[in-house]
Chain A
Amino acid sequence: MIAALLLLIPFLGALTLLLLRPAQARAIALATTLASLAVVLYAWATFTGGAVTHLDLAWADAWGLRLKMGHDGVGLLLLILTGVVFPFIVAAGYGQPEDRPATFNALLLFTQSFLYGVFLAQNAVLFYIFYELTLIPVFLLLLYWGGEHRRSITMRFFIYTLLGGLALLFGIVYLLVLNGGNGDLAALAAMDLPAGTQVWLFWALFLAFAIKLPIFPFHGWQPETYHMAPLQGTMVLGAVMLKMGLYGVYRLVLPVVPVGTAYWQDTVIVLSLIGAVYGGIIAFRQADLKRLVAYSSLSHVGLLCAGLFAGNAYGISGSLYQAFAHAILVLCMFYIVGAVQERTGTTDLRAMGGLKSAAPRLAALYFLVVVNAVALPLTQSFVGEWLMFAGLWQVKGWYAFLGLTTIVLGAIYVFHAYQRVMLGPARDGLAAADASARDHLVLVPLIAITLLLGVWPGPVLDLVDTPVLQLLSGLTAP
């Protein structure tokens, strides 16, 4: 029931928008996402800790495709994430120029529906279908609503991620063949493949996620796509789409090819950490605020992936916890970018300064986001980072050290950007409006979440605790 509601509410909402083209497209989309948020919260409230199967129907079993949907605590965390972020993404649209809003919001809703599918799927083929389906509405969002060079950049993004997707498909079908056509994720995890196979199969499965996240050096598509995309598109990409990569690793890579993972663990961690440092260094001198945030996201994601591949309880739970924290942070950061652009007409940092004098409330909100962005304790980001550092330390001391350099780099570029935008002498002729009711409605709840989960991370940590320990005991059992 819950699975069907989650998939159908946004899907039907999207169809309504497409077919009826109502005048209040945004309002309808917002109502739809709020309804689906209510379902997610209901699922959370009734969750008792174990894995849940919502739906288990034969479909095309001969192809290994079975309509099996459910979730464990981690799946639920990502469902909650998807449910929480979309109302804010839709609401952010009220600050953006209105261009074919019915289709635009319909595409957002389709994306949400498919994302639910990804996090609900308990069958590898079903997972793959949803995983690739999400690409289509996002592709159209970028192609028709993007900025400069949208055609070429979108094509590159599309093909690059698709190539990864092909490798993933190959990997999944290979697994199906070996497993007698049974695509059940739990069954795949129980396969115990020969070590030699795991070593190459790892990359077939991981490449798509490495690109989706992205980690260094597979990130080439990311900065320009984030920069070109419409604001809400960037939010979708940064807040949720990349979490599919993390989830994919957690669901399909770690349990299915544990030996392959162990074999490549150091490689992936080192690449991820290089990306974390590299993105953090590059972000500092970016002249464009949106690009700066894109590189900061690259840096954060590097740390997330390294934490996940630490492969121990702290690293994995920290990374999954941080997946949620990062989504909230990304929304806040890009929302700020939009709010600043609304007022100054640019995202060029060189042309900014002194906005705080005109918009002190917006500056205060931005500062609260900054506090979370540098992962100060008692914000949500700190909990995740602390766990990941503890996890990385258990693997190798200098991994933790390398990861920790990002707390210095982050302090440098985050405060640099904040000061560049907000502080300094007031600008003549900059008569910008202060934070509006809408700005407060979007940012205040998001900031409240970051502080609440920073002080009281228990509800989210409890979700990941059991599944992660189960995963780890499954890995060490044979």
Chain B
Amino acid sequence: MSTDLLAALVPALPLAGAIALAALRRKLGANAAGGLATALVAGAFVASALLFQGFDPAAGGRTVKLLDWVRVAGMDIPLALRIDALSLTMMLIVTGVGALIHLYSIGYMHEDERAPTFFAQLNLFTFAMLLLVMGSNFLVTFIGWEGVGLCSYLLIGFWYKTPEYNYAARKAFVMNRIGDVGMVLAMVLLFQRFGTLEYDAIMDRASGVNDPLMIAATLFLFLGATGKSAQIPLFTWLPDAMAGPTPVSALIHAATMVTAGVFLTVRSSVLFELAPFTQDIILWVGTATALLAASIGLFQNDIKKVLAYSTVSQLGYMFVALGLGAYSAAMFHVTTHAFFKALLFLGAGSVIHALGGEQDIRRMGGLKGTVRTTYITFLIGTIAIAGLPLMSGFFSKDLIMAFAFQRSPVLFALLLAGALMTAFYMFRLLFLVFHGTYRGQAHPHESPPTMTVPLVVLAVLSVAGGLLNLPHLFGGHEAMKHFLESAAEGIRFENLALDTMTEIVLMTLTTVLVGVVIYIAHGRFAVKATLEGDEADMPFLKRLVAQRWRVDELYRALFERPFGWLSTNLYAIAENKVVAPLVRGVGDAALRVGETVRGIQTGNAGFHLLAMLCGLILLLTFTLMGS
């Protein structure tokens, strides 16, 4: 099969699934729908793997044009796909992890009467995400960018009868749209500057350009990235997005969609390399997000909310890497995080499933005996994210921290604090859920194999994922970095020049401290279960953190309520007290004039003609006076 056809097949398969499932949603059973959806995404994975196998990084990328799209007045933006190292990496993650999550969903959603609709939307999401990563120009990426936002909206609000879920869905969409303003501004700017939106052409022409416009363009792109990837200030939608079914949280809100901002930055690395100012902003926004979200994670009681804040925090680490110009490190962390965070979410889903919908960790505990596979895999995921040696998270996070140390020890210390918080909240979660004694009333049971098989596969990947980019220190040769180099110019400027001794010291320091934190967590949550009490009884600072730094309340007071007030009052005052009376005034005055000239009641068409006549007379007078 030709490469072009194969490339087109990758997004086409899930799209076909989405259309077929939507059309047949009333006729198909849950299992048939789930089976079809899973098979199509698995098919896309196979196609991606074949493309990967036949891909030669040395030969560079390949553009596959599907259709003319926006072509007018010298603008020519085609619907085209790009196959290169970067898109292939993302395609493998999206379809690979995606297929596993589809499979898992068969078990998770089998009792839901709208399961076929769910799978249709999940397939549609996969299609959009594939367009996002495969687009050969910004505008095709933007199709996917907005498409995943729409699917995210649909799936967060999947259980549409609950108003809070609908609110969460809308909030996610609107906050993403705020970021999209930045995206579109970046695109019009880049188009104006370069006359094209094709990635390869822009990156070619931009190389070495010294232009303050690049700062604007990259800042706009970054605004878009903060929306999709839940960075300060646009991060508050992601925890609320946990309203969706748990497989959605795993696929969209952990493994794939939320990394779109990272992907976009790597894709445009040439531009960001030209704008050190933007890089610094990204660095500090990433650091702040990593720490803020990690601190919130310390006191959450909802199993999915802990994981959600953890995701925000981990995305912060990826942006730190981007800010440091360490694009390959960011992509490495995208990959390992996709493995272990999908694993953790699916594990959480398995627990929730076992407990009949319970999400509060205060009413869990002691589950390691009853949900054995879930426990072991969740443990692996926890170790991986905490960054214990030789796990995938260890390598990817350590790489980012090494780059950070090279920039500044203070930055390293901040990230280390974040890593310690991560270890703490994750082991707190693990111990409170699986250790000690059961504190709830449900009858836990292990999940079916459709759910446990993906857990096992993801657990293996979470352990072994580090091999993808094994550093020289451990006998590897940074395979992923070298692979990606052919697609992201920026990687060539990466320069990690720490000596081996420093690296070993930093790793040891981190590992020892993480170990201490785990020991403390074990004492507090495994030996005995220390539960958080009422927020009202907490000391001020702890309460502030537990209440998520009250950012939601702040946004509500600063934006939501004033906007509602503005909407109401623009209508009540500007519209009804100013504009409307103006029309009435003009209308009534004209009516009175009309009535004196001639009764308006008779023949309105007549009045119309009369008025035309008036105009003519006026005109004649005017021209006569003029001459």
Contacts and interface: CB of A to CB of B under 8 A. Distances in A.
Given A220-B583, A408-B178, A317 B570 contact: no
A285 B622 contact: no
Contacts, number: 192
A468 B25 CA distance: 45
Interface residues of B, number: 70
Given A169-B612, A220-B579, A386-B184, A465 B567 contact: no
Main secondary structure of the interface of A (DSSP, over half): helix
A424 B583 contact: no
Nearest to A423: B160
B69 interface: yes
B538 interface: no
A317 B72 CA distance: 8
Contacts of A135: 608
B619 A457 contact: no
Given A281-B563, A423-B160, A400 B185 contact: yes
Contacts of B174: 408, 411-412, 415
A147 interface: no
A376 interface: yes
A174 B619 contact: yes
A220 B582 CA distance: 7
A286 B570 CA distance: 11
Interface stretch (A10-18, A30-38, A98-106, A153-161): A153-161
B587 A401 contact: no
Contact of B166 (A158, A393, A419, A455): A419
B615 interface: yes
Interface in B155-207: 157, 160-163, 166, 169-170, 173-174, 177-178, 180-181, 184-185, 188-189, 191-192
Interface in A427-476: 455-458, 461-462, 464-465, 468-469
A310 B173 CA distance: 29
A422 B154 CA distance: 13
Interface residues of A, number: 78
Given A132-B612, A394-B192, A285 B568 contact: yes
B161 A404 contact: no
B615 to A, nearest CB: 4
Contacts of A390: 75, 188, 191-192
Contacts of B497: none
B49 to A, nearest CB: 27
B70 A357 contact: no
Interface stretch (B93-101, B140-148, B245-253, B363-371): B140-148
A59 interface: no
A453 to B, nearest CB: 11
Nearest to A283: B567
A462 B76 CA distance: 12
A400 B189 CA distance: 10
B586 A278 contact: no
A411 B567 contact: no
Contacts of B177: 407-408, 411
Nearest to A316: B73
B509 interface: no
Contact of B161 (A400, A423, A455): A423
B161 A424 contact: yes
Given A160-B583, A281-B567, A284-B563, A393 B188 contact: yes
B161 A357 contact: yes
Given A423-B157, A424-B163, A166 B615 contact: yes
B590 interface: yes
A456 B74 CA distance: 17
A156 B583 contact: yes
Interface string B494-507: 00000000000000
Given A159-B587, A390-B75, A217 B188 contact: no
Interface in A209-233: 217, 219-221, 223-224
B591 interface: yes
B365 to A, nearest CB: 33
A47 B174 CA distance: 43
A177 B591 CA distance: 30
Contact of A393 (B192, B566, B574): B192
Given A284-B567, A357-B161, A378-B143, A159 B150 contact: no
Contacts of B568: 285
B564 interface: yes
B580 A281 contact: no
B264 to A, nearest CB: 15
A383 interface: yes
Interface in B569-627: 570-571, 574-575, 579-580, 582-584, 586-588, 590-591, 594, 600, 604-605, 608, 611-612, 614-616, 618-619, 622-623
Contacts of B143: 377-378
Interface in B255-269: none
Contacts of A386: 70, 139, 184
B622 to A, nearest CB: 7
Interface string A297-314: 000000000000000011
Nearest to A371: B150
Given A224-B580, A282-B575, A170 B622 contact: yes
Contacts of B166: 419, 423-424
Interface in A139-160: 139-140, 143, 155-156, 158-160
A468 B74 CA distance: 12
B73 A317 contact: yes
A136 B188 contact: no
A194 interface: no
Nearest to A377: B143
Contacts of B473: none
A282 B570 contact: yes
- Looking at A357, A393, A462, the one whose CB has the most chain B CB atoms below 10 A away is A393
Contacts of A394: 192
Contacts of B567: 281-285
B590 A159 contact: yes
Given A389-B184, A424-B163, A155 B587 contact: yes
A6 to B, nearest CB: 23
A461 B181 contact: no
A394 B193 CA distance: 10
Contacts of B608: 132, 135-136, 139, 158, 162
Contacts of A426: 161
Contact of A177 (B139, B594, B623): B623
Contacts of A223: 575
B563 A407 contact: no
Contacts of A314: 72-73, 75
A354 interface: yes
B171 to A, nearest CB: 10
B58 interface: no
B614 A166 contact: yes
Contact of A139 (B75, B594, B604): B604
Contacts of B67: 455-456
B68 interface: yes
Contacts of B181: 401, 404-405, 407-408
Contacts of A371: 150
Contact of A281 (B150, B566, B605): B566
Contacts of B153: 415
A425 interface: yes
A21 interface: no
A195 interface: no
A143 B604 contact: yes
Contacts of B27: none
21 contacts: A165-B611, A173-B616, A174-B623, A281-B567, A285-B571, A286-B571, A314-B72, A376-B147, A383-B70, A386-B139, A387-B70, A390-B188, A393-B188, A397-B185, A397-B189, A407-B181, A408-B178, A411-B177, A419-B166, A426-B161, A464-B72
| Across the A-B interface, the 9 shortest Cβ-Cβ residue pairs | A220-B583, A313-B73, A156-B587, A285-B567, A377-B143, A393-B188, A169-B615, A166-B615, A461-B72
Given A163-B590, A174-B623, A400-B188, 4 more contacts: A139-B608, A317-B72, A404-B185, A419-B157
